Amino acid sequence: MKKTILILALATLGLAANAQRYEGGLIDKTIAVVGNEVIMVSDLENEVKAMKAEGVASDQNTRCSLLETMMTSKLFLMQARLDSLSVNADMAAAQLQQYVDRITYIYGGEEPIEQYFGKPMSELRTMWKEQMENQNLVEQEQSEIAKSIPELTPYDVKQYLDTVDTANLPVVPIKYQMSQICVYPDREAAKMACKQRLLNIRERIINGEKFSTLARLYSEDPGSARKGGELGMASKSIFWPAFSDAAMSLKPGKVSQIVETPDGFHIIEVIEKKGDLFNARHILLKPKYTAEDQEKAFARLDSLKNLIDSNKISFEMAARLYSEDPATRTNGGQMSDPNTGSSYFEIDQLKPEDYAAVQDLEVGQISNPIASRDNEGRDGELVYKIVRLDKIVPAHTATFENDYTSLLDGVRNIKQNKAINEFIDKKIGETYIIIDPMFKDCDFTRKGWAEKIRK
């Protein structure tokens, strides 16, 4: 078997006579063989182009780093096939679509993409599909290696603490535990006023004024407003479903009725449609709240704060009875991170307004009313609140008693990374690998690669 691979390798590395020639004189050829996997110049340059397409600069060091990454992936890919792992087709397809959508949005359509890569979209999709499927197998194999480490115990954590330099122990940042009582402004009234403003703009367009001119004057989407509301050719999947559905149902040149999304209210004019892609203009308006809204909410929250401070009602009971935030009301107002479920927040996990409200409070104290944002939509909805500081966990070096879970996760990551690194080094040593001498000056992160460069 190894002899067959060697013959293949030597043959492919010497194919200059039959090589494909690119613009500028670049000849496609094999630059690395990893087992029975081959990496061509064109494979590497496609990766470089993909990086540049997303705004990442490249140089010779980038090519060295990319080649090392590609060769490492081949090691995992070969093992995945030996282990008979199967591609998660749904996940790979979703990743492919996300990538295509992102590139299409950046370049404004399929034609510019084809011009940039020098290939038809059908060929690019086939190439990217294979890459996503291979990456899926690589990730599965890495996960299998990571799962192979034995189940960790408190002894493993203690052993880690006994052997690691104290200076290298993780520092747990300061954390806050808080509760809140929230009051929303009259959102329905603000929405009605917003929709009426948008209806007036739509009527002006119907009566002959230019959509693009009014978008520049009134749209609250700064990215598109300066371009007359134009979004550029993009896949429908990158927009809110209500927006995409409305745009895809329009004929070019027609103006939609009002469309509501988590960003606010829109009217849309489609410029062009092509399959699942469309280019459209839109005008976005967001509900506006008045000083009177804030005064009313602050007065209500001040009254609740006074009742709590005078012990006429507990904070928890007031939250259950009067808070308008369903996520915290049932827990007596206790806040939790929607991503982790933890009731403790680091500073960078807090909204700036919330941190400003509690940073000078003593534990148990309640803030004055503030205006903040909730977790709805892209940027959050306006909400008024009072916040109680329940607990502060000062910044400290991690300890077994107080931070066992975090330390356990850290030790697990260390052991998993060690297992993966040992796998890579072992496979480099026992796999037939040959690298073209054009990469002899690369400073690979693993010394084993340098030994595989053809003399």
CATH of the domain at 219: 3.10.50.40
Q: Which domain holds residue 66?
A: 2-150+415-450
Q: Based on the domain organization, do 192 and 318 belong to the same domain?
A: no
What does each C-alpha distance from 315 to 171, 266, 332, 344 come to in angstroms? 33, 40, 7, 19
pLDDT band at 376 (very low <50, low <70, confident <90, very high): confident
160 within a domain of the structure (yes/no)? no
Q: If you count them, how many residues does the chain have?
A: 455
Residues 322 and 179 in one domain: yes
On whether residue 324 sits in a domain, the answer given is: yes
The confidence score (pLDDT) of residue 25 equals 54
Which residue shows structure tokens 């939250």?
Answer: 319
Residue 374 shares a structural domain with residue 281: no
Same domain, residue pair 328 and 299: yes
Same domain, yes or no, for 314 and 234? no
* Two tokens, residue 307: 């009742």
338 backbone dihedrals φ, ψ, rounded to 5°: -65, -20
141 and 10 belong to one structural domain:
yes
Is 68 in contact with 445 (CB distance < 8 Å)? yes
H-state helical runs in 21-120: 41-53, 60-82, 89-107, 110-117
Among 234, 263, 285, the domain-final residue is 285
Residue 39 domain-assigned (yes or no): yes
User: Does residue 118 sit within a domain?
Assistant: yes
Same domain, 136 and 200: no
Q: What's the CA gap between 46 and 198, in Å, rounded?
A: 46
- Which of 285, 307, 333 terminates a domain? The answer is 285
Task: Answer yes or no: is 166 within a domain.
Answer: no
Beta bridge partners of 200: none
Does the pTM of the predicted model rise above 0.85? no
Looking at the domain assignment, is residue 455 inside a domain?
no
Number of domains in the chain: 3
Measure the CA–CA gap between 21 and 27, rounded to whole angstroms.
Answer: 4
Per the domain annotation, does 164 fall within a domain?
no
- Among 15-19, 22-26, 339-343, 377-381, whose mean pLDDT is lowest? 15-19
Rounded Cα–Cα distance for residues 133 and 411 (Å)? 31
Last residue of a domain, one of 285, 306, 328: 285
Can you tell me the distance from the alpha carbon of 352 to that of 159, in angstroms, rounded to the nearest whole number? 39
- The whole-angstrom distance between residue 417's C-alpha and the CA centroid of its chain comes to 22
Regarding whether 137 and 13 lie in a shared domain, the answer is yes
pLDDT digits (tens, 9 = 90+) for 32-83: 999 999 999 999 998 998 888 877 776 768 899 999 999 999 999 999 999 9
Which of 340, 339, 317, 326 is closest to 388 using CA atoms? Answer: 317
